[in-house]
Every structure is written in structure tokens, then in C-alpha cells.
Structure 1
Amino acid sequence: MPDISPRPVPFTARTAPAALDDLRARLRATRLPDAPENAGWSLGTDLAHHRELVDHWANEFDWPAQEAALARLPRFRVTLGGLGIHYVHAPAVAPTGPVLPLVLSHGWPDSFWRYAKVVPLLTDPGAHGADPADAFDVVVPDMPGYGYSDRPTGPPLNSIDVAGLWAELMGVLGYARFGAAGGDIGSHVSRYLALDHPDRVVAVHRTDAGVPVFTGDPADLAPEERAWIESAAAWGASEGAYAAMHRTKPQTAAFGLTDSPAGLAAWIVEKMRAWSDCDGHIERSFTKDEILTNVTLYWLTGTIGSSMRMYGANAAIPPEQLARRVEVPSGFSLFPGDIVRPPRAWLDRTANVARVTEPARGGHFAAFEEPEIYAEELRAFFRPYRAPALG
């Protein structure tokens, strides 16, 4: 990792050939587990699909080509809070009106990769069949412990901490006021940006409201809210083992996932399939190369352990912080393939809701799965907040 700087410096990742040789050697030496006949994905990652994916990774996947494609995004590093933070900073192209700065926050298991497809649609809408007046200056940071940002050597940062770093980053870039958007952990970061910096965040957009936390009297909840909380608890019981591991014993899992690329891919790919709008067929949402670009970023940066540790930090956020209501104008795009989708009553309880939509397609990784739909969701939501905020 390059030296960190108190001022933004351009960044280009260049993987040493020896690192790729080591990766391929490990992949070719993979010892796959057995699986019950016809288990498919019912017990986790499907053996037949994973054998095929590992073979493709070892023998066909062209990481230098993917690395070069990611390098076309304007990328930088800067020191924030003693950590080197990697980010994309893509200015608007040929705007015809006020340009709104927009910080996009990713989640797990991903990085700035989540927004790689959508950046040009947001910075240059005119070149993609949309109104040039909807152009954004786009900032996409890697959270600490993810991607090309530094891994904290002390206690992991939580979403409140990261929101503070992003507010500082936007100040470093000269943006007094800006919009915020995100999903997964990035939804929490965006929420805390709006809560802690309401004088700077003009509006906030999220693709989820997180796993519900309610400490009041259940009788005060609407019936659909109670049903949603029950369904979220059922989802956690059947699908949340990964999160329990992340919260409680991430270091144990990190040994195997940091040493075995096939194991790392199995851990990540199962979630990419389960959380996307793919009807059980992951390659309807992501090509093999797209899957492996995400996984290879984790492998080469060695960030699977540090990314998991953020779960424990977030679990320790005090209940009074979780209960705060967002008063900044809030928008939600609830994609059909996402997990734990909240009812409108819960959104109104927790935020000053200005807009809620239910797009026809897309899942948890909507910005990557359906970039055109996601970009239009952001353009439409933030349109009323451009001139009042920046004029």
C-alpha cells in the first residue's frame, strides 16, 4: 500500500505478477469439500458451481484487464483520522445546471466496486440518454478495512465513525453541502451523515433501512411493522449465521478466508447469489468475471478479516443512537430482490420520508445489478434539492 498523505494524491493499483502467480497456484491446489447429493445451494455455496468458478479463476480470469478497467475511474488516497482512505472522485461532465456533490457508501461484501458501473451514469447523464442537468460530482470511498483503504490496527470503526470521516472527506474536496446515498452498511453510514451533519447533507437516499431495532412497546407498532420485525428475526435465524460470526468471532473465520482464495470466494459468492435479484441463478445478475473482480479485490488487499470486524463495532452502537430519527429529507428505493424490506410505516417512524419507490428489478447490489435503474432513482430523488442547496 502506498504512503498516505494529508492531501489527496492520485492512486492506481498495480498488482505484482508474483501475487497473481501465487493466487493461481493456490486455486489449482484447492481441496474442495464433499456435498450431499442434490444439495445445490440449500446448505450454502453449491459445489458444482464453485468448482466451475474456481477453475475459471485459475485458468481464464484476466485480472490485469479488470484492474485496468477499474483504473479508468479517477481514484485517489488521502489521510483521514490517521488512516489512508481510497476513493473515487469523478466530477460532473458537461452539466447544464447546479451540480450536486454526492457521496456513495458501499456495504459488505464489496467496496467501491459496487458503484463502478453507475459512476459514469451519474456524472454524465447526457451521454446516457438522461438530462444533463441531473449531473453529480460523485465520491465513492472505500470504508476503512475495505478495498484499498487502510485496515485499522486498533479497534474497528463503526458506521458513526465512518460517517464522520466522510464528512471530513467532503470538506477536503471543497464540498460544503452534498447528498448522501448507500446500501447495506453504507445505508447506516449515510443515515449517520444525515443525523450528525444535517447542516451539510441536503438529502439522503437509501436502498434499505437496515435490520429493525425497536426497544419500545410493541403495541405502539403498526401491524405491518410487527410483521416485518418478526420476518426479519426469522430471516436472521435462517440466514444470519454469517453476521453472527462477523460480530463475535471474525478472527477465527479470517484465518481460513485469508489463506484460501476458494474459501474466500465461497463465503462471498453465496451472499451475492442470495441477496441479488437473480431467481437463484447468480449469473443472471453477475458474470463470472464480475463476481471474481469483487472477490479478487478482497483477496489482493487482504481485507476480508478487517471488513468483518466492522460488524462487531456496529453491534456495539448504543440503542439511543439507533433510535434517532433522520430529519433530513429521505428517499428509499426498495428493490424487489433485496433482503428485509421495510414497510412504509417503519420508514415514516424512523425518517422524514420524501419519496419511496419500488423499482421493478434489482436486489441488494442494485447499483451494480441494475445501474441504469439505480442511477435514475438517484436523479429523480435528488432533483428537488439541487438549486435550493447550491444556489
Structure 2
Amino acid sequence: MKPFTVNISEEVISDLKNRIQSTRWPGEPEGSDWHFGTSEKYLKNLTDYWLNEYDWKKYEEQLNQYPQYLADVDGIQIHFQHIKGKGKSSKPLILTHGWPDSFYRFHKIIHLLTDGDQSFDLIIPSIPGFGFSGKAAVSSEAVADLWVTLMTETLGYKKFYAAGGDVGMSVTKALASKYPDIVEAVHFTDIGYPMGQEDPNSMTEEEKNFAQFVQQWWYSEGAYAMIHSTKPQSLAYALNDSPVGLAAWILSFGNAGAPPELIEEAFGGKDELLTNIMIYWVTQTISSSMRMYKMDAIAQWGGSQPLQKTSVPAGLAVFPREAQFPREWAERFVNVVSFKKMESGGHFAALEVPQIFADELLSFFYSLE
């Protein structure tokens, strides 16, 4: 375990700008807006701002505001932030991000969760294959195994709490299922989706409605996940070579969770959106991050045993621009002790509505005492 500082060379930034300036724009159908994918009109405005106004060094300093480390965990380099809470009995809490975000997903809630009398020791790692961790892509269950080693052996916590959404949900769910004697409680903003393997006779009407919604969503918005789960390498060549292409692909997912006029707000702001894209660009991890979907697909369809429902106490917060899963769907997988419908926010709630998200984590985890 050694301290780490983000320090990207000027050569990388200069190369980025040259590539943006050399973009060959494909054109788009007149009036297509976002209906064919990422809007070229919007993307040209964003890349002009990226090229001429966005200040990476400012956000690099922000990334270095809190202590960061690199550690070898079972042969894989793991990057993580570790911020001690100021309360007398801070709870150790590991926060796991998803795709297409990064450890930066949680930067706005760090001070909200560490400054008060009720506080956490926050551990915010980069999933393997993402950001400044090693580029080894592994399954969600394998990440959970790494997190246990990181928390108990590297950092010395005997027990801990965990929260996550998106890919981070899968990791956190695996933590609770596989390590109920170590994980004290878990929190989720989503809990997985019906995949057509469920017995419809065992499903409530609310669950069936949710399944129909998910099926429609996959047909209209799920192309990214199908490509990541089947042919991620084919796409990786383009995204690793073109910053505008990388931005377009990430934006196409962000737009799936928010109307076009809210896409920047959904990521916490224009600069936050670009900082998240920059983390993928400067580390060249878009390829390895997408491969995680393939590893999860291999695990799911390769005959591995499904995770068992866990007895670990679980809190769930359903934000209005997330898939509106019913409580009984969540109860199939976790021990639901808190289920809340939130008033505002979406898929990246920690970036978009940080105070609301932080209050929810504090309220849930400290209610269990």
C-alpha cells in the first residue's frame, strides 16, 4: 500500500486536444436530435467547451484533495481513496461505482459523510479495469472477493458496511451474499433486473409490470450492454482512439437515464461529466471496463451457482429516474429492512443530488444501531 497522486502529463493533454481537433464528424439526419444516438449538435458544443474552456488541472487537483493509495490485492493493483471520518465511532463504508462512471461518482458526498458526529471511514476504490486500478477485468463476484481482502487484510477492518449502484450493486450484493459474517449492512439504488428466466407464476403483478418495463428498456436502450457482454473488444479500438467517440458512447448511456435537457445535470454538471470521461481517457481503461460485462456474462451463463439471498440488513433507495423496481423484487435477493422512494435524482444520484444521497446513507446505516 503506497500513496498515490493523479498527475497526467502535458503530452497526454496535448494529444487529447489534437485528436479532438482532428475529429471526422459523421453527420446526422436532419432533426434527429437524440433519436439515433448521441446528438452531433450537442456533442460539438460539448467538445468545443472541452477543448477551449474545460480545465483538467483544476479537476486533477480536486481528485487529489483526498488521500489516495495503490495496493496489490491478490495480484491486482487496486486504486482507492481512504478518508477517515471525524466522528468518535466512524463506521467503515466501502462505496462501489458503476459504468460509465468511476470513483469520481462519490466525490461530492465525501465531506458530507466524514465531517459530522455520525460519520464513516470511507473507502472508495476503482474497480479493476477502471480508472487508476490495474486493467484486469474480473467478474462482480471476484471484485467482492478483492474488496474483502482490501478491507480486512490491507486496511485491517474486521467488519464493514457497503453500498453501490449499477455494477457497484452487483459487487455489493455479492459481498452481502458471500460474506454475511463480515458485512454489517448494505445499501443499493438498484437491485438487478428480470432476465426472462423467472417463473411468471411466482411473480406479483408489480413484478410483472417491472419485467415488461425492463424488456422494453433493453430493446430501446440496452445496446451498450449487449455489445459489452458479447463483443467489447471490437468497440474498444474506436473508443480508445477517439476522445469524441468515447464521449459519444458514454453520453448515449447517460441519455438513457435522463432527457437530453438534463444529461449534464444527471452527471452532476458539465465539468463533472467531462472529468468522468477524462478518467477513462487518460487511463485508457474504456476497453477493460467494458470487458467486465463479458466476465459477468460468462459467470452468469457459464453454469456458476447463483448467489443466495442474504440475511444482511439492506436498505434500498429508488430514485425517480431509475427503473422503478417493486419491494417484492428486491426481497428475492436481499433482506430488505428499508425501502424508500426518493423525491428527486437519477442513476448517478451521488453526483446529481449529493445531499439527498448522503442523508439517505447516514439515515439507513445509523438506524441499525
The interval holding the TM-score normalised by the smaller chain is over 0.9
Q: Which whole-Å CA distance do the structure 2 matches of 1:213 and 1:176 have between them?
A: 36
Q: Give distance in 1, aligned partners of 2:196 and 2:366.
A: 32
Asked if residue 70 in structure 1 is aligned to residue 68 in structure 2, the reply is no
How far apart in 2 are the matches of 1:281 and 1:38?
19
TM-fit CA distance, 1:30: 1.0
Q: Please report the RMSD computed on the Cα atoms of aligned residues, expressed in angstroms.
A: 1.4
- 1:375 aligned partner: 358
Report what 1:50 is aligned to: 43
- Of 197, 214, 217, 1:232 maps to 214
In structure 1, list runs of 5 or more residues that go unmatched: 1-7, 127-131, 387-391
Matches within 5 A, 1:133-282: 134-152=118-136, 156-171=137-152, 172-213=154-195, 215-276=197-258, 280-282=261-263
Contact map agreement 1:335 1:359 (CA 8 A) in 2: yes
Say which SS state the counterpart of residue 350 (structure 1) adopts: coil
2:36 alignment partner, SS class: coil
Structure 2 Cα separation of the partners of residues 284 and 83 of structure 1: 34
Is contact 2:6-2:63 (8 Å) kept?
Answer: no
Quick check: 2:265–2:352 contact (8 Å CA) kept in 1?
A: no
Shift of 1:383: 0.7
Unaligned 5+ runs, structure 2: none
For these two proteins, the number of residue pairs brought into alignment is: 365
SS in 2 for 1:116: helix
In the TM superposition, residue 221 of structure 1 has moved relative to its aligned partner by: 1.1
Per-residue deviation, residues 248-286 of structure 1 (Å, max 9, x unmatched) = 11011000000000000000122223224x674323333
In 1, Cα distance between equivalents of 2:11 and 2:61: 18
Over the matched positions of the two proteins, sequence identity in percent amounts to 43
CA distance in 2, matches of 1:141, 1:284: 24
Say whether the 8 Å CA contact 2:177–2:307 is kept in structure 1. no
Take 1:15 and 1:136, find their aligned partners in 2: how far apart are those partners?
30
Secondary structure of the residue that 1:341 maps to in structure 2?
coil
1:3 match = none
What TM-score, normalized by structure 1, do the two folds share?
0.90
Give the Cα–Cα distance (whole angstroms) in 1 for the partners of residues 246 and 187 of structure 2: 31
CA distance in 2, matches of 1:331, 1:280: 31
Matched residue of 1:327: which SS? coil
Q: CA offsets, 1:137-163, max 9 Å, x none?
A: 0000000000000001xxx31000000
Q: Give the equivalent residue in structure 2 for 1:4.
A: none
Q: Is 2:328 the partner of 1:345?
A: yes
CA distance in structure 2 between the partners assigned to 1:88 and 1:323 by the alignment: 28
Specify which of 70, 81, 85 is matched with residue 74 of structure 2: 81
TM-score computed with the length of structure 2 as normaliser: 0.96
Q: Distance in 2 between matches of 1:361 and 1:157?
A: 33
Letter of the 2:26 counterpart: P
Where does residue 301 of structure 1 map in the other structure? Answer: 283
Q: Distance in 1 between matches of 2:49 and 2:112?
A: 30
In 1, the alpha carbon distance for the partners of 2:273 and 2:70 equals: 25
- Residue 317 of structure 2 corresponds to 333
